[in-house]
Structure 1
Amino acid sequence: MSNYRLTVGEYSLNWGTPIRLDPAPAAGNALTRQPGGEWDWDLPEGVYLARDLVRELAVLLDSVVEQLGGAAGYEPLLDNVKASLALSGRESVLQLDSLRLADPARTELAGQARRIGDTLARWAGEQAGEGPRADKAILGRVRFRSRCDHHLWTPLVTDILTGPSGGPSVMQLFNEYLHQLVLLRDLLLPYENWQEVPIGIERRGKGKGLRYTEQARAAFLAEFLMSRPSHLSLLGYAQSGLAPELSAPGYGFQYRYGTILPASLGRHPADSRRFLLGWYPVRTVPHTVDVGASAVFDYVYPDYYSAPRSHADAGAAAGRTHEGDLRGIREALLEVTPAEGETGRVQIHYRLQIGSQAYRVDLGQLLRGHRYLYLAGPNQPSEEGTRLTAAAVLAQPGLVHTGSGTHHISAGNNPLVVWALLGKLYPENVILLHGEVNEKLQGAGGSGKGFGAKFVIF
């Protein structure tokens, strides 16, 4: 079978084995009859997308409406759902709008929370419009004790749930429905393409539905609310929801239903988000005997401060190339090797061919370099600098650094070459110019840290 191809415009990144995943309806029923004649609820085991889970959770809301006698209908309850998933307001569970989020990481995640919450609320309304998913006689006898009693209700819903048709059982059912939707939204926060992420539900003995994510969710949101979350903590949170069996996080991972890596790989480095993750339909570790096995992707340099370094000027004369040679490159490859002395952990190298020479950089360092990258500002004159070729930089061992001055590196305006350079340059003061570049490299002079040595890629 051919490699998976991640295509961005006319360029592609190739690796692993593509997988085809078509989540089927879960085998089993969400409602099970208890000895006393009442019915209990839980998510059936299976593989779900976000919309599938909203559909399965709808039976809880159906039960609430049925046990209220149907008089109130769905509308006021759905208004409460929307208010709970919003980022502001009395009923909001995650009130991010009240925070001043100046850092890019939390800004990206807050934007995701808003988009996901709005969509889940809309889907809940569409599902309600399709009518109940179970027999009304069964819905009227759904009972279980929800451990979630901290959700706030709108005044109208409070009157409905505490009125003559309400009662403790109905209150708990509605609280559980709200809580499961909130858990679903927060489980999907790390992913740019969150609607495509397959979620495997198993009986883990850690509560109903998505409650197995509660502990990791609480820890991650505590860090998020107090400070900018690290990439490592975001990966740890992602693993806890999709592959809790995995060991300490790296910069990505493979699980039974695909590969999780930063979403930036699917775009030009200048245009992509830096902190969100993406789900890719590929088995990255093809040598695994068990096709369902998971693996963590490790950095070659876990601590890049202590990584071996080469000085930029040391290879200035090496690897002479013309920009035309770089512009003609159309693909790069990812190559997997087991991490030395580690089981279930691998390292991935990004391989780029320039002419007859192949160059390799650590994929983890490449993605780290992107997170630390500066983009050039508009119309700011750049100081004169030393010219280096991409091949000269990529040929050197370790990470390339410079003690002083400005170094200009032409990537031929090719994103594949830009990615490779981001994996090779020490990620301290690296600036990218995107688009038309004149001879004076305007736009780079006032970018970056504003002081010290720098690399300018164009």
Structure 2
Amino acid sequence: MSEYQLTLNDKSIAWGETLDIEPLIGSYTNDTIRKGTGAALDWNLPSGIYRAKDVVNELDKLLEAMLVQLGEPVNSDPSVLLDSLQANLAISGRESSLPLGPLAFEDRAGVELTDQAVRIGEQLVSWAREINSQKRALSQYGTAKLEELEFRSHCYHHTLIPDAVAQVFGPSGGPRVMQLYNEYLHQFVLLRDALLPFSNWEQVPFQVKEHTEFKGLRFLEPARKTFLTQLFGRDLSHKSIVQYAQSVVSSGLSTAGYGFQYRLGTILPAGLGATAATAPRYLLKWHPVQTIQLEETTELTAISFDYEYEDYYAALRNEAGGGTTEKGDILSVSGELYDRQPFKARLFPIIDAGRAVLRFIIEIDGREYAVDLGQIFRGHRFLYRPQGSEDFENSSDKLPPLSFHQAVDILSHSGLVTNTVGVHLIRTGRNELVVWAVLGKLYPENVILLDMADIEELSSAHAAGKGFGAKFLVL
């Protein structure tokens, strides 16, 4: 097995062993349409490993059965049923199953998940239209078998567009078709909501096990209910997103850190391998890697990644010191790491007393600097960005004095780095690996990430963050 490597422009982050899960995808233990308890045929997702599009493939069999039972050609127009699916997966409107749009979230978690819901819903509907146009289920089962499909769908909450109501409850429709369509819609809603935590949701593999008491993805309903209650109640934390993700992929974990490993890969915050200024702060990302090598004899199949400092407020803090005061354009002295900057970082796991901690390690001038990966993500979630200043004046005389620090000086401290007073600018050589490492070393209270560090941005940064205490500007 080869080492897994994540690229970030001309930089990289390496760790663990790459997993090849492709042979596991699509190998199912049963047929989707099979003999039920009575005379009719039933539908269920067979046990196996799925990605999102695989589930859409299996759900199309429900739609094909509906179209057969509605009759050809006038009463079985798939576009009407698919338009109603699109309305259900939208984030606003009468038929929306997840009306996030009207809530207009301003918190970052809410904004990121709202954008996710839009992206995922649109792609799922696109796949549903594409797959149905191919008529795979009709070719596989034939008209007679699809005509026999019948079951009770226990869900009453999905609203249809008027044309779909006329079709499903019209002369060719009725209770049998309505039950199939209700399950079709509900499974799509469960699929969309299950994928919300993951930035690369199309790639995430998850396990489905057949249950006699409920169908398909309904095993996710308890976790989904808790997750959506927190989301709509504006009480959603990063930890609760991780907990929900653990349920979605059937990790078996009962406690949550900031990420985890399960048998099909590793889930970490989506910022890893991205630019800190624009990276998601609350979404997660699946990686095809076994981060921690497990012994073949162990029964452990999943591991939660813990913060080194569970309570960062109580963590050891060290003063950054006064730094240096320099005259002139700070841009001219901000790239001192250029000739000695690291181009590769690695993640190193430490397991002690049942806890798994990951360290982010970079090398500068032959010396290694290690930072807790969890604290890096925590620092990223808590950072500020410069805010527009209406009273901006093009003069450095109006700005508070700056103290300058090299990133290596910050990274050399133990614990977390802070100061009691002053505005401190940390130069990273504009190296993203160094930026991430510094975010993990600073006490995450009053940290502002800069882009340009020109006079206008420095003025905006002065207005950002908390109105008290020392302020750290990371360039």
Contact 2:6 2:273 in 1 (8 A): yes
What is aligned with 2:26?
A: 25
Partners of 2:464 and 2:232 in 1: how far apart? 29
Contact 1:106 1:228 in 2 (8 A): no
What is aligned with 2:432?
A: 415
Contact 2:294 2:300 in 1 (8 A): no
The Cα of 1:194 is off from its aligned counterpart by 0.9
Contact 1:253 1:296 in 2 (8 A): yes
The Cα of 1:164 is off from its aligned counterpart by 2.5
Within 5 Å, give how 1:32-181 maps onto structure 2. 32-34=34-36, 36-70=38-72, 71-73=74-76, 74-133=78-137, 134-181=141-188
Partners of 1:118 and 1:430 in 2: how far apart? 36
Deviations 1:253-283 (A, max 9, x none): 1111111111111211112111111111111
Question: What's the C-alpha RMSD, in Å, of the aligned pairs?
Answer: 2.3
- Once the two structures are overlaid, the 10-residue window that deviates more, 161-170 or 284-293, is 284-293
- Once the two structures are overlaid, the 10-residue window that deviates more, 392-401 or 24-33, is 24-33
Partners of 1:285 and 1:243 in 2: how far apart? 18
Partners of 1:398 and 1:443 in 2: how far apart? 29
Amino acid at match of 1:222: T
Secondary structure, aligned partner of 2:321: helix
Contact 1:385 1:408 in 2 (8 A): yes
Within 5 Å, give how 1:265-280 maps onto structure 2. 265-280=272-287
What is aligned with 2:380?
A: 370
Secondary structure, aligned partner of 2:337: helix
Partners of 1:36 and 1:236 in 2: how far apart? 38
The Cα of 1:91 is off from its aligned counterpart by 1.1
Amino acid at match of 2:10: E
Contact 2:75 2:172 in 1 (8 A): no
Partners of 2:289 and 2:149 in 1: how far apart? 40
What is aligned with 2:16?
A: 16
Partners of 1:154 and 1:325 in 2: how far apart? 59
Q: 1:310 aligns with which of 314, 318, 327?
A: 318
- Once the two structures are overlaid, the 10-residue window that deviates more, 61-70 or 50-59, is 61-70
Secondary structure, aligned partner of 1:81: helix
The Cα of 1:24 is off from its aligned counterpart by 3.6
What is aligned with 2:404?
A: 387
What is aligned with 2:364?
A: 354
The Cα of 1:377 is off from its aligned counterpart by 4.2
Q: 2:353 aligns with which of 328, 341, 347?
A: 341
Note closer, same or farther for the CA distance 1:11–1:378 as it changes in structure 2 (3 Å cut).
farther
What is aligned with 2:444?
A: 427
Deviations 1:295-351 (A, max 9, x none): 1111111111111111111999xxxx982367531011100011x322xx4110111
Amino acid at match of 1:341: A
The Cα of 1:183 is off from its aligned counterpart by 0.3
Flag structure 1 segments of 5+ consecutive residues without an equivalent: none
Partners of 1:376 and 1:439 in 2: how far apart? 10
Partners of 1:87 and 1:109 in 2: how far apart? 11
Note closer, same or farther for the CA distance 1:401–1:206 as it changes in structure 2 (3 Å cut).
farther
Contact 2:335 2:427 in 1 (8 A): no
Amino acid at match of 2:174: G
Secondary structure, aligned partner of 2:436: helix
What is aligned with 1:239?
A: 246
Amino acid at match of 1:144: F
Partners of 2:456 and 2:367 in 1: how far apart? 28
Secondary structure, aligned partner of 1:135: helix
Deviations 1:114-170 (A, max 9, x none): 111111111111111111512211111111111112211122222222223222221
The Cα of 1:408 is off from its aligned counterpart by 1.6
Q: Does 1:294 align with 2:302?
A: yes
Partners of 2:226 and 2:387 in 1: how far apart? 37
Amino acid at match of 1:348: L
Q: Does 1:260 align with 2:267?
A: yes
Amino acid at match of 2:376: L
Contact 1:413 1:435 in 2 (8 A): no
Flag structure 2 segments of 5+ consecutive residues without an equivalent: 325-333
Secondary structure, aligned partner of 2:159: coil
The Cα of 1:386 is off from its aligned counterpart by 2.0
Contact 1:325 1:354 in 2 (8 A): no
- Once the two structures are overlaid, the 10-residue window that deviates more, 161-170 or 431-440, is 431-440
Secondary structure, aligned partner of 1:313: coil
Q: 1:405 aligns with which of 422, 428, 453?
A: 422
Contact 2:198 2:283 in 1 (8 A): yes
What is aligned with 1:221?
A: 228
Note closer, same or farther for the CA distance 1:100–1:322 as it changes in structure 2 (3 Å cut).
closer
- Once the two structures are overlaid, the 10-residue window that deviates more, 21-30 or 77-86, is 21-30
Partners of 1:292 and 1:214 in 2: how far apart? 26
Could you tell me the TM-score, scaled by structure 1's length?
0.93
Contact 1:206 1:212 in 2 (8 A): no
Partners of 2:304 and 2:222 in 1: how far apart? 21
